[in-house]
Amino acid sequence: MLRVVTFLFAFASVAFAQDYPAKPIIIVVPAAAGGPTDTLTRVLASSMGNAMKSQFVIENAGGAGGIIGINKAAKSRPDGYTLLLYHIGMSTAPALYRKLPYDTLADFDYIGQVADVPMTLVAKKATAAAAFPEFLAYIKANKDKVTYAQAGIGSASYLCGLLFMNTIGTDFTQVPYKGTGPAMNDLVGGQVDFMCDQTTNTVPQIKAGNIKVYGVATAARLPSLPDVPTLAEQGLRGFDLVVWNGLFAPRGTPKAALDKLNGALQAAVQDLAFKARLAELGAEPVPLAKATPESLRNLLKSEIDKWTPIIRKSGVYAD
Ligand code: MLT
């Protein structure tokens, strides 16, 4: 009897591996459409779709700093047809929420890291300050009036805001959105004053002259914005925040599916079109060695260990 069951299981796995994927694959993005994570996912989906000769569908589930979308993916059927693309926000939630509806390390299988996206400090076009020192003075002088847009507690834009506040020693009013896509619309419209956001969302607006940029939040200047000084150069010593992004699947996803998806991810990070599009957007695909399940698992673990004490010290809880 056991031999029959084993044979049937092996037969089913082989059949699954041959047929997979037999329908479009959903990638859940825990942020609103049009924002940096959505943009990155759409560029990745096109490249992985070519590699797997299959279709990917993006499902935006923004809000609560990404928790809603992460939980949706964690609870979806582990059949290879629902994935999750998210970032550093995966590693902040465990410290920010006393009661998370999922287990960050236990509820996911890993496909690999995707890309690193730098952040930029940007403001509405009408901002008078010509350069960062005046802008900093303006924030400090108007700290009860200036408004900072972010994508919810625990999001990348929230984290950058937290680091910026701690570094300049001044609080300011935060305005949460379901993602920095809609936040950018309000920044371009002048409804909010400033934001720290990923280049995949800011570079097109900076180049179009729709917003002002006062610095990049990386240790070195960016090839996409060579004339924009780093915040560190302008006195914010050690200010360095790059957003890592990873591709996940719900725990229990068939190995055959994970292997095919990882193969397509590895093809994507070497794909010239993928690289060129990310370069235009100021971002960088990870090297091949990082586009692996082990690398993403280790990164997530080390990032949780890094951000938990910082967040605990801030005393902020999201629930
Ligand atoms: C987005 O796509 O809206 C961002 O990733 C949000 C954020 O984390 O700042």
99-135 confidence digits (pLDDT tens): 999 999 999 999 999 999 999 999 999 999 999 999 9
For residue 124, the CA-to-ligand 1 centroid distance in Å is: 18
CA torsion sign for 33, 34, 37, 42 is: positive
| Pairing state between β 82-87 and 242-250 | antiparallel
| CA-nearest residue, atom 5 of ligand 1 | 37
Ligand 1 centre and the CA of 156: distance in Å?
6
299: CB partners within 8 A, 6+ apart = 113, 244, 246, 290
- The answer, yes or no, to whether any atom of ligand 1 lies below 6 A from the CB of 31, is yes
The pTM score is 0.95
How far is residue 192's CA from residue 182's CA, in Å, rounded to a whole number?
11
The token pair at 8 is: 């049937």
Q: Is the CB of 38 under 6 A from ligand 1?
A: yes
Does residue 120 have its Cβ closer than 6 Å to ligand 1?
no
One pLDDT digit (tens) per residue for the chain, 319 residues: 677 777 776 767 777 778 899 999 999 999 999 999 999 999 999 999 999 999 999 999 999 899 999 999 999 999 999 999 999 999 999 999 989 999 999 999 999 999 999 999 999 999 999 999 999 999 999 999 999 999 999 999 999 999 999 899 999 999 999 999 999 999 999 999 999 999 999 999 999 999 999 999 999 999 999 999 999 999 999 899 999 999 999 999 999 999 999 999 999 999 999 999 999 999 999 999 999 999 999 999 999 999 998 888 888 888 8
- Rounded to whole angstroms, how far apart are CA atoms 285 and 292? 13
Distance CA 133, CA 272 (A): 39
**How much distance in Å is there from the Cα of 122 to the middle of ligand 1?**
15
Pocket test of ligand 1: the residue of 150, 157, 201, 202 to mutate, having most ligand atoms within 8 Å of its CB, is 157
Residue nearest to atom 2 of ligand 1 (CA): 37
